[in-house]
Structure 1
Amino acid sequence: MGDGISIRVPPEIKHEMEKLKGEVNWSEEIREFIKRKIKEYKMRKALQEVIAYIQALPEAPRGTAQKLVGKDRDNH
């Protein structure tokens, strides 16, 4: 299957988990949670990289957007 890990939870949480043992597959729930967290952190890192890249781009001269929009309209 894979490598094992262990976690510690307070006794009251363990007790509540045991009550739901037949209804909840805790191993699967925890695996899915970990997968989602990994995906979330990767997406956050990618977003931070994109933001840093955009912030590093040189600023366009004032009026550039207006000129480009005007050119686009003229071409249609």
Structure 2
Amino acid sequence: MEVVSFRIPRELKKEMKKIDINWSEEVRKFIEEKVKEYKRKKALEEIDAMLANLPKAEKGTARKYVREDRDSN
């Protein structure tokens, strides 16, 4: 595992010591969630970009395909 450090105000550190929480684990979970959130957002942006490049379908195309499928049964 890697070590990451950051600075916080002294008063905040004092308040943190009063609370029985594993701060390292809490920060690790928070960072993991933020990374997942970023990856999901990035993937959605890429999907949106790909969809934007697709040719537009004529109005009524979906209705036409549904009707064809229903009629084929």
Fold match, TM over 0.5? yes
Q: Which deviates further from its counterpart, 65-74 or 44-53?
A: 65-74
Which structure has more relative contact order (CA 8 Å, sep 6+)? It is 1
- 1:18 Cα offset (Å): 0.9
What are the equivalent positions in structure 2 for 1:10-49 lying under 5 Å apart? 10-20=9-19, 23-49=20-46
Spell out, residue by residue over 1:21-64, the C-alpha distance to the aligned partner (whole angstroms, 9 max, x if none).
xx200011111111111111011100110111111100012221
Q: Runs of 5+ in structure 1 lacking a partner?
A: none
- TM, length-normalised to structure 1: 0.85
Q: Runs of 5+ in structure 2 lacking a partner?
A: none
SS at match of 1:72: helix
Q: How many residues align?
A: 73
Percent identical across equivalent pairs?
51
Q: Which runs of 4+ in 1 moved over 3 A?
A: none
- TM, length-normalised to structure 2: 0.88
- RMSD value, Cα: 1.2
